């Protein structure tokens, strides 16, 4: 196995408690803001019709990404759900190795669906993965670049899962302590496979109430990976108007991008890291 130290971060600080407590209230505000800014979002650049598959986060189903798909379809893309039910709902693992095996199996199932859509349309797909879904998407980008055009991840915990607010809850699933090597295998799995040749935009939030900022950056090949901080809650990523604007802007060629996203006014809201 490839050495994994380059992917393993020592910063395991979980999110600040106030950010975790405020998650529910913030997501309600984000949903409302997207509705209020609907006319403005309609001025974002239109798409080229290629297929975008959305992959939900842990315990999320296609309904959790429905608003994002509606936005993308309205911009001229063919946004489709992953169609596999609730993410990780059927995991019955006794340790992290079992969960990792399940994760690998799910990636192969998603890959088959991506291939099917590629053969149908004749065009590579964009994958947008939220949280755990982003780990699937980047792993697939390493293994199947022939079918994948680009990847966008939303609030994905790339590093050691002890840096999340949910780790203590997830740890109760296991009958034994998780050792360091198992955690390292979990992290390095995302970067396995062939050399990364697919662009990855990793959106993260320093006020995320679930994923600590120390594990929220993708550590893939910097020639292909862009990490960008946005203002969002974790649950609110697939509902947030700032996130929608950044995604729409990223999907088109630079000369077609929305002028506001290149101006001074948006710099406090998004930051490339």
pLDDT for 210: 96
How far apart are alpha carbons 103 and 119 in whole angstroms? Answer: 24
Residue 154 corresponds to which tokens in the numbers above?
């939303």
Structure tokens at 123: 């065009």
By the 10 Å C-beta count (0-12 exposed, 13-18 middle, 19+ buried), 123 is classed as middle
Per-residue pLDDT at 37: 87
Q: What count of other Cβ atoms lies within 10 Å of the Cβ of residue 254? A: 8
3-state helix, strand, coil in the chain (%, to 5): 45, 15, 40
pLDDT computed for residue 176 by the predictor:
52
Q: Is residue 107 scored above 80 in pLDDT?
A: yes
Structure tokens at 194: 């062939």
Q: Which of 95-104, 136-145, 225-234 has the lowest mean pLDDT?
A: 95-104
| Mean pLDDT, residues 162-175 | 67
| Residue-level pLDDT at 255 | 72
Indicate the Cα dihedral angle 191, 195, 198, 202, nearest 10°: 30
Please write the tens of the pLDDT for every residue from 201-251.
999 999 999 999 999 999 999 999 999 999 999 999 999 999 999 999 999
Greater model confidence, 244 or 169: 244
| Position 2 pLDDT exceeds 90 | no
Across the chain, mean pLDDT equals: 87
d(CA 68, CA 133): 14
Percentage of the chain exceeding pLDDT 90 = 64
Asked if the model's pLDDT at residue 267 lies above 50, the reply is no
pTM, two decimal places: 0.89
Q: Please give the pLDDT value at position 262.
A: 42
Kindly state the average pLDDT of the residues 146-153: 98
> Is residue 96 scored above 90 in pLDDT?
no
Q: What is the arithmetic mean of pLDDT over 3-26? A: 76
The whole-angstrom separation of Cα 263 and Cα 266 is 6
Question: Quick one: tokens of 75?
Answer: 């911009």
First-to-last CA distance in the chain?
Answer: 29
Supply the pLDDT for residue 268.
39
Q: What is the predicted pLDDT for the residue at 167? A: 77
How does residue 178 score in pLDDT terms, banded at 50, 70 and 90?
A: low
CATH topology of domain 5-272: Rossmann fold (3.40.50)
């Amino acid at each position: 196995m490839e050495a994994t130290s380059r992917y393993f971060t020592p910063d395991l600080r979980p999110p600040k408690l106030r950010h975790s407590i405020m998650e529910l209230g913030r997501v309600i505000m984000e949903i409302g803001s997207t509705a209020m800014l609907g006319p403005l979002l309609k001025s974002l650049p239109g798409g080229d019709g290629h297929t975008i598959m959305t992959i939900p986060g842990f315990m999320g189903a296609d309904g959790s990404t429905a608003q994002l798909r509606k936005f993308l379809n309205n911009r001229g893309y063919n946004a489709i759900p992953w169609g596999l039910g609730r993410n990780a709902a059927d995991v019955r693992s006794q340790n992290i190795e079992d969960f990792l095996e399940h994760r690998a199996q799910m990636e192969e199932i998603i890959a088959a669906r991506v291939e099917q859509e590629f053969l149908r349309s004749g065009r590579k797909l964009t994958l947008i993965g939220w949280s755990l879904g982003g780990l699937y998407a980047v792993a697939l980008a390493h293994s199947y670049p022939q079918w994948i055009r680009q990847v966008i991840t939303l609030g994905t915990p790339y590093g050691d899962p002890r840096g999340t607010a949910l780790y203590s809850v997830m740890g109760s699933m296991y009958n034994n302590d998780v050792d360091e090597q198992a955690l390292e295998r979990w992290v390095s799995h995302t970067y396995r496979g062939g050399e990364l040749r697919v662009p990855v935009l990793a959106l993260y939030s320093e006020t995320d109430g679930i994923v600590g900022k120390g594990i929220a950056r993708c550590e893939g090949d910097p020639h292909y990976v862009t990490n960008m901080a946005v203002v969002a809650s974790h649950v609110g990523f697939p509902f947030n108007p700032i996130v929608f604007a950044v995604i729409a802007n990223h999907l088109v060629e630079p000369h077609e991008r929305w002028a506001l996203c290149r101006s001074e006014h948006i710099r406090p809201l998004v930051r490339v890291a």
